[in-house]
Chains A and B, each alone.
Chain A
C-alpha cells in the first residue's frame, strides 16, 4: 500500500500553496505490493508538481482493483466509480457538462480491453479530454485472477492454465484510432511515469497511458509476462522524457541536440532524448512500426509513443459554447415565449 507520506510541519507547497498531503486520498485497500498503488503515488506527485486544482478534477473509473484507486488520491476531487467497462461514457457526459473539469480515468485491462473496449474506442475517436490510465496486469484481479485480453500468448496463470489467445495491445489500438497522446510505462519506473503523467496533464484531448502494473496476488510468478521480473527484464524505454511546465520554462532549459521537443497548447514542453534509433514521437506510422516490431521481440517499449497536440477535441466537434454548460443560467437555457409561439405557428 502506498499513499503519499504524511506532510511534516514545513512540508513544501506548490504554486497553489498546497502540500502533497492535499492531493492524497483515502487509505488504499489493495494488496501490499500491488502495482496499482505505485501509479496512484505518481498521480499524486504529478498533480502536486503540475499545480492541479484538485477540486476541478473529475475522477472516474469502472470496476476492478484498478478502478478502486480513484478513492486513494485527490480527496478534494469529485469521484465517480461507475460500472464495469463503461466509464468512458460517464466521463464523456461530465466533460461535456463542464468543460473546465480536469478528467482523470483509471481503468484495468479487463475493464478497458474486454467489456469496455467499445466505449474506450469511441471515447478516443471523439477525443474526450481525459487522462485515461489502464493499470495493466494481464488478469482480472478483483474476480481472482482470470486471464484478461492483454495477457500474452503462452503466458501461464498461477494454477497452470496457459493463455492460447493473442493479446490486444491498448497502445497499438489507440494509435490506430488516431489518439493524440499514447504512452506506455511500468509501475516500477516512477520517474518515467511521472514525466508521462505531467505531459498528459498538459494535453487537451484523450491520453491513453498503458501502465504495466503487476498483480502480486494472481500474476507475479516467473512464467507471467506481466510480473515485476519480466517487466523489468523486458522494459525498453524509447527515450528519456523531460517535461517542463509552461510557467517553469524560464528557469529550465530544454536540452537541445539530439532531443526532440513537442509543445502543448498551454505552452508546456516535453523533450525526448532518443535512446533507440531515431525514434520520433510525432510520427504515427513510425510508432506503429516500432510497436509491432517490439511485440515480435517480446519487448515492452515504454515512453511517450505518440503525441499530436493539434487534433480537435469533443468540445470543438460538438460546437458548444465556451462557458461550461453547467454555468449557463435559465435565461440562456430556456427560450422565450416568442419562440414557442413561432414553433406553434409553424404547426398550424
Chain B
C-alpha cells in the first residue's frame, strides 16, 4: 500500500479538478458494463454537472474490449477530451495498454490481481479487490460477472464525492421497474462505496461538487431524438434494413410508435417494415412517397451506396422521401462502430448524372429532433429525397440537452392537387413550373374525378409527364430541378453565426460543434486568437454562407474525413474564394476533440 499512499499524497498537492475531468472505463463487451457506465454518468448529471458519455465499442457482440468515456465539465464542454484523468481498468486484456497511454498524474482504479502499479510510477494507483467484494455482496454466482462492474461505480463514487442518493435514482431509472435487478445492483454499489470509504486513501485530484447546471435537462442519443422528430412529423411508412450505427433510430421509432401511434383499436398509424436490403428500403420509401405518405428510411454509408440508383429516380421523377444517414467510418465495412463525417459528398450528390440534394446537418440533440421533423416538410414541399446526415457520435452517444419544444403549426404537405382543384384546372401538367420556383404540382394515386392521373418514370419526360428524348425537354427538366435547389435556399435551416469581426473564420457542421466551441475558447485563452464561427446546418449553401466567406480572410473548414469533402463542395460553389479554404481534418474513428482543432489552426498560422 505504501506506494499508493505516497502517490495519493502527491495527488493532494496537485490542483484539484472540480467538475472538470474525464473518466475512461475499459471493460469487456457484453459484460453488463453499459448499465454501470450509464449509472456513473447519470449520477454526475443528476448532481447538476454537465456530462457526455461516449461508448467506444467493437464490432462484436461479446468478448472484445470496449471503453466508455465520460466527460464532465462545468462550463458545458462535452466534446471528447484528449487527456484521461481517471482510468478504470476492468479488462485484463487491455489494462496494460490502457495504463501506458495515460498522461502523467492520472488516477488508475484497477482489479487488484492485475498488478498494474508496476507499469509506471508517475500515476496514482488504486487497486480494488473486485472479486472479493462481488462474492460478499451478491449471493448468486451466475450474476457475479455482471454485477462486478457496479462495484466500480461505488468505488469511483466514493472517490469522487458522488451523492449516493442520486446514484440510487440513476439505478432505478436505468433498470426501470426490475425490482430484483435494482436491489442486486444497488447492493454492489454500496459494497464498493463502503469498501472504498474504509480502505482507500482519499484523493483530491478530481472531485464532483453539486451544481445546478443540468436542471431540467435530458440525456438522449441522436437516434432517439431523430426517431421522436419523425414520429411527431407523422411518418406513415418506414422501410429499413439494420446497420450500425443507424439501427437504433428505427428501433426507437418502433418503440415510440408502439406507444403513441395507435388508433383506438390498437392498430398502427405507421407501417414499419424491415426490408430485405437497402435497395428495397429505398424503393419502399419512394413507392409510399409517390402514393402520398410521409415515408423514411434510416441507414449508414454502405446502405446509401446501395440506395443510390433509387435516389436518382426519386430526384429525377420528383418523389418525396426522408433518408437518415447515421454515418460511420468508411469506405466499405471500414470501422463500423466508429464515427466519421465521411458521407458528405455522397449525400450531397447521391446517384449518377447531375444530382444535387437538400441535406440537413443537425449539430446537437435539439436539432436532431427538429430537423428530423422538418425533413418531412421539406421532402413534400420539394418533392425530392431529403438527407438528414448525422454520424455515430451524434446518433449513438449520450448527450445532454434542453428538453425539446413541441413543434407547433401544421405539416407542410407541399403542392398537392385534390379532386376539387383539378376540376377547376384546364391544363394540369405534372412537371409544369407554374409558380416559377421550380416546384411542380403533383396528384396522388386514387384521386377521383378522372383528371389527375399521370405516369411516373425515371426516363426522360416532358412537362406533361410524357416520355421524351427531346434535347430541349431534357435540358428544361434538369434546369428546373436546379432551380428547385435554388428555391430550397430560403427553406432550409440557416447557419448559426458567431461573428467576432476577426476575419479568421471557422466553418464546421454536425458533431464537430462541441469540439469547435471548446477550441475557440482555448484559442482565445491560450493563444489570443479570436475566430468567427459559422456552423453550417444544411445544403444548399445559403446567402449567410456567401457573406461569411466573403467577409473572412481565411476559412478553416473543420470536418471529420480525410479528403476534405465539405471543402471540396465549398470550392465548387465558391470557386472565387477557393484559396481561402483550409482544411482542419480528423479521421481516426474517434470523436473530434478540441486540441486537434487548436493544433491544426496554429500550424497553419506558424
Q: How far is the CB of A152 from chain B (nearest CB, A)?
A: 28
Q: How far is the CB of A127 from chain B (nearest CB, A)?
A: 12
- Contacts known (A76-B450, A118-B277, A339-B260); A93 close to B232, Cβ less than 8 A: no
Question: Are A83 and B458 closer than 8 Å at their CB atoms?
Answer: yes
* Interface hits, B191-230 → A, CB 8 Å: 216-220, 228
Cβ-based interface call for A285 (8 A): no
Q: Measured between alpha carbons, how far is A344 from B218 in the docked complex, in Å?
A: 7
Main secondary structure of the interface of A (DSSP, over half): helix
Cβ-based interface call for A159 (8 A): no
Question: Are A119 and B268 closer than 8 Å at their CB atoms?
Answer: no
Question: Are B293 and A325 closer than 8 Å at their CB atoms?
Answer: yes
Question: Are A55 and B232 closer than 8 Å at their CB atoms?
Answer: no
Question: Are B450 and A320 closer than 8 Å at their CB atoms?
Answer: no
Cβ-based interface call for A92 (8 A): yes
Chain A residues whose CB sits within 8 angstroms of the CB of B268 once the complex forms: 318-321
Question: Are B269 and A321 closer than 8 Å at their CB atoms?
Answer: yes
Chain A residues whose CB sits within 8 angstroms of the CB of B447 once the complex forms: 55
Cβ-based interface call for B455 (8 A): yes
Question: Are A89 and B455 closer than 8 Å at their CB atoms?
Answer: no
* Interface hits, A56-88 → B, CB 8 Å: 56, 58, 60, 70-71, 75-83, 86-88
Q: Measured between alpha carbons, how far is A335 from B455 in the docked complex, in Å?
A: 35
Question: Are A119 and B279 closer than 8 Å at their CB atoms?
Answer: yes
Q: Measured between alpha carbons, how far is A80 from B314 in the docked complex, in Å?
A: 11
Cβ-based interface call for A50 (8 A): no
Cβ-based interface call for A8 (8 A): no
Cβ-based interface call for A139 (8 A): no
Query: How many B residues touch A, CB cutoff 8 Å?
Result: 70
Q: Measured between alpha carbons, how far is A344 from B263 in the docked complex, in Å?
A: 22
* Interface hits, A121-165 → B, CB 8 Å: 121-122, 126
Query: How many A residues touch B, CB cutoff 8 Å?
Result: 56
Q: Measured between alpha carbons, how far is A334 from B232 in the docked complex, in Å?
A: 5
Q: Would you give the 0/1 interface string for A25-62, flagging 1 where the beta carbon is closer than 8 Å to chain B?
A: 00000000000000000000000000000011010100
Question: Are B261 and A335 closer than 8 Å at their CB atoms?
Answer: yes
Cβ-based interface call for A347 (8 A): yes
- Contacts known (A97-B237, A334-B234); A92 close to B284, Cβ less than 8 A: yes
Chain A residues whose CB sits within 8 angstroms of the CB of B74 once the complex forms: none
Contact among A82, A95, A340, A343 for B458, CB-based, below 8 A: A82
Chain A residues whose CB sits within 8 angstroms of the CB of B285 once the complex forms: 93
Chain B residues whose CB sits within 8 angstroms of the CB of A98 once the complex forms: 291-293, 444-446
Q: Measured between alpha carbons, how far is A271 from B261 in the docked complex, in Å?
A: 43
Cβ-based interface call for A94 (8 A): yes
Q: Measured between alpha carbons, how far is A126 from B233 in the docked complex, in Å?
A: 27
Q: How far is the CB of A92 from chain B (nearest CB, A)?
A: 5
Q: How far is the CB of A149 from chain B (nearest CB, A)?
A: 18
Q: How far is the CB of A5 from chain B (nearest CB, A)?
A: 21
Q: Would you give the 0/1 interface string for A201-242, flagging 1 where the beta carbon is closer than 8 Å to chain B?
A: 000000000000000000000000000000000000000000
Cβ-based interface call for B371 (8 A): no
Question: Are B287 and A80 closer than 8 Å at their CB atoms?
Answer: yes
* Interface hits, A312-344 → B, CB 8 Å: 314, 318-322, 325-326, 328, 330, 332-335, 337, 339-340, 343-344
Q: Measured between alpha carbons, how far is A90 from B283 in the docked complex, in Å?
A: 5
- Contacts known (A71-B455, A90-B284, A318-B271); A325 close to B237, Cβ less than 8 A: yes
Cβ-based interface call for B423 (8 A): no
Question: Are A80 and B237 closer than 8 Å at their CB atoms?
Answer: no
Chain B residues whose CB sits within 8 angstroms of the CB of A348 once the complex forms: 216-218, 403
* Interface hits, A264-289 → B, CB 8 Å: none
Question: Are B445 and A78 closer than 8 Å at their CB atoms?
Answer: yes
Cβ-based interface call for A308 (8 A): no
Interface centre among B263, B285, B445 (most CB of A within 10 A): B445
Chain B residues whose CB sits within 8 angstroms of the CB of A91 once the complex forms: 287
Interface centre among A337, A347, A348 (most CB of B within 10 A): A347
Q: Which residue of B lies closest to A79 (CB)?
A: B455
- Contacts known (A91-B287, A340-B406); A333 close to B218, Cβ less than 8 A: no
Cβ-based interface call for B275 (8 A): yes
Chain B residues whose CB sits within 8 angstroms of the CB of A71 once the complex forms: 455, 467
Question: Are A325 and B275 closer than 8 Å at their CB atoms?
Answer: no
Cβ-based interface call for B541 (8 A): no
- Contacts known (A86-B279, A119-B279); A76 close to B234, Cβ less than 8 A: no
Cβ-based interface call for B114 (8 A): no
Q: Which residue of B lies closest to A78 (CB)?
A: B445
Chain B residues whose CB sits within 8 angstroms of the CB of A333 once the complex forms: 234, 236, 261, 269, 294, 411
Cβ-based interface call for A101 (8 A): yes
Q: How far is the CB of B376 from chain A (nearest CB, A)?
A: 10
Q: Measured between alpha carbons, how far is A80 from B220 in the docked complex, in Å?
A: 40
Contact among A101, A321, A347 for B291, CB-based, below 8 A: A101
Q: How far is the CB of A345 from chain B (nearest CB, A)?
A: 8
Q: How far is the CB of B298 from chain A (nearest CB, A)?
A: 15
* Interface hits, B214-273 → A, CB 8 Å: 216-220, 228, 231-234, 236-237, 239, 256, 260-261, 263, 265-273
Contact among A76, A79, A335, A337 for B260, CB-based, below 8 A: A335
Chain B residues whose CB sits within 8 angstroms of the CB of A80 once the complex forms: 287, 290, 455-457
Chain B residues whose CB sits within 8 angstroms of the CB of A337 once the complex forms: 406
Question: Are B236 and A328 closer than 8 Å at their CB atoms?
Answer: yes
Q: Which residue of B lies closest to A314 (CB)?
A: B273
Question: Are B455 and A81 closer than 8 Å at their CB atoms?
Answer: yes
Q: Measured between alpha carbons, how far is A322 from B404 in the docked complex, in Å?
A: 32
Chain B residues whose CB sits within 8 angstroms of the CB of A319 once the complex forms: 266-268
Cβ-based interface call for A261 (8 A): no
Q: Which residue of A lies closest to B224 (CB)?
A: A347
Q: Measured between alpha carbons, how far is A77 from B232 in the docked complex, in Å?
A: 32
16 chain-A/chain-B pairs, Cβ below 8 angstroms = A78-B290, A78-B444, A78-B453, A79-B453, A80-B290, A81-B458, A89-B239, A89-B275, A90-B290, A93-B295, A95-B287, A97-B271, A98-B444, A322-B267, A332-B269, A333-B236
Given contacts A126-B273, A347-B219, 9 further A-B contacts (CB under 8 A): A70-B455, A78-B455, A89-B275, A90-B286, A90-B290, A92-B273, A93-B237, A94-B445, A98-B292
**9 tightest Cβ-Cβ pairs between the two chains A and B:** A93-B287, A89-B283, A333-B234, A97-B293, A93-B288, A97-B291, A347-B218, A90-B287, A78-B445
